Structure 1
Amino acid sequence: MIVSADAVALLGRAGLDLLTLLILVGWLYRGQQSVRSMPLAFASLNVGIFAAVTAFTSTPGVLTAGLGFGLFAILQMIRLRSTAFTVKDVAFTFLVLITGLINALPDLDWQLVVALDAAMILAVAVTDTGRDAKITRVMRLTLDKAYSDPVEVQAMLQERLGLAIESVVIKEIDFVRDTTDLRLSYFIDPAWSQPTSEEMFDDSEGIFRA
């Protein structure tokens, strides 16, 4: 069976995309993931955008590269509702989408594609100085009392929950209902293979009575 030059080029771009994804997510991000499911989310976004743009650019007529860019823009506006979605997760989400888009464009010169992938990997490797820092998790809580002092809230939660809290951000204070919505970041033991209460941090809003 004779394989066309276009098919060989597509396989090459796919291989380069997967290699870049493995380096970014499997190496640079893996040891500091906010929740277990984030690598799966990154891989799904990257492979999905690669497949969509490949289909759009290879289909004549209405489905053009412009539509692929439109899809990319829509994906960028999606707000992932996980309460454990950190700033670092946002950065890696942007990177995996960009790499999927760049590697899928058939008209880009190979040298340029390789250079762009390498530049993104190098930028993360150099600027991500927190890879050796303590691992943190994020929790969102609703306190059954109105608080206005983050320091007071942090001290109270650290005593009640028994966690090493890094920071507390008060999102909303409701003096009518006497409640406080907040987001806290806390350190975990690196020896823990998985956080036992990750499901609560992913998509629920806990109510803590203080």
Structure 2
Amino acid sequence: MSVFAYIAADLVAIAALVFGLYFPRHRRKDLIVSFLAINVGVMGVTYAMATADLTLGFGMGIFAVLSIIRLRSTEMEHNEIAYYFTAIALGLLGGFPSGNPAVSFTLMAVLLAVILIGDHPALFGRTRMTQLVLDRAVADEKAASDLAAAMLGATVHRISIRKVDYVAETTACEVRYTLIDPDDALGTVAATGELHVTSPAGLR
């Protein structure tokens, strides 16, 4: 199949990834050009290496240069790293015109499907992770979990205490939790006729 078909497939795939999935979900404009540039750049380098008479050492040197590139501007979240590597993988698949087109195009579709499902807002949509600073010094994880649950109004699944400051009376921790569905809470109130609210101050 013509190399232009691979290029077109890669451009369609990266456009769907960036403009159809990433930006509508995360709204981070500065990474758009990064995803597009890394995808097209990897595709071009891969095609040049696949069609030119190059030694193995030259090819390894090219990818060694690419591997030392580090993003020094702002920190990327884990889901954004997934988009970043998907853009690279799409570029690699689009840069091998000598491969089986059915396999290459199918793998492109599979990559997009994985991102579509894995990063879908409806998938565990009420589950969160945050860095939380409690307004008291707590060394016990159970007490910290109860305090965090009252502050967040959520079900805490896991809490990891990072730092306890007994001078400033604060506790830094990482909390993984699920927001309580308001409909479930109202249903419980309607069934029992009681509503109990625990404030963070009440846990002191």
Do they superpose with TM above 0.5? yes
Letter paired with 1:97: I
Identity level (%): 18
Matches within 5 A, 1:97-176: 97-125=88-116, 127-128=117-118, 130-132=120-122, 146-147=137-138, 149-153=144-148, 155-156=150-151, 158=152, 170=160, 172-175=162-165
Q: CA RMSD in A?
A: 4.5
The structure showing larger relative contact order (alpha-carbon pairs under 8 Å, at least 6 residues apart) is 1
Contact 2:23 2:29 in 1 (8 A): no
Runs of 4+ in 1 over 6 A off after TM superposition: 135-139, 141-145, 164-168
In structure 1, the partner of 2:46 is 53
Matches within 5 A, 1:184-203: none
Matches within 5 A, 1:30-109: 30-33=23-26, 35-62=28-55, 64-67=58-61, 70=64, 74=67, 82=74, 85-86=77-78, 88-109=79-100
Change (3 A) 1:84 1:119: closer
Contact 1:50 1:104 in 2 (8 A): yes
The structural deviation recorded for 1:111 is: 2.6
* Count of residues in Structure 1 that have an aligned counterpart in Structure 2: 171
Change (3 A) 1:101 1:84: closer
Runs of at least 5 residues in structure 2 that lack an aligned partner in the other structure: 178-204
Distance 2:130 2:34 in 1: 19
- DSSP-derived class of the 1:107 partner: coil
Change (3 A) 1:129 1:50: closer
Distance 2:71 2:145 in 1: 26
Runs of at least 5 residues in structure 1 that lack an aligned partner in the other structure: 187-210
Contact 2:83 2:115 in 1 (8 A): no
Change (3 A) 1:118 1:181: same
TM-score (norm. length: structure 1): 0.54
Contact 1:84 1:137 in 2 (8 A): no
The structural deviation recorded for 1:150 is: 4.3
Please list the CA deviations of residues 23-62 of structure 1 after superposition, one character each: whole Å capped at 9, or x if unmatched.
2232233332274434343223322322333344455445
- DSSP-derived class of the 2:12 partner: helix
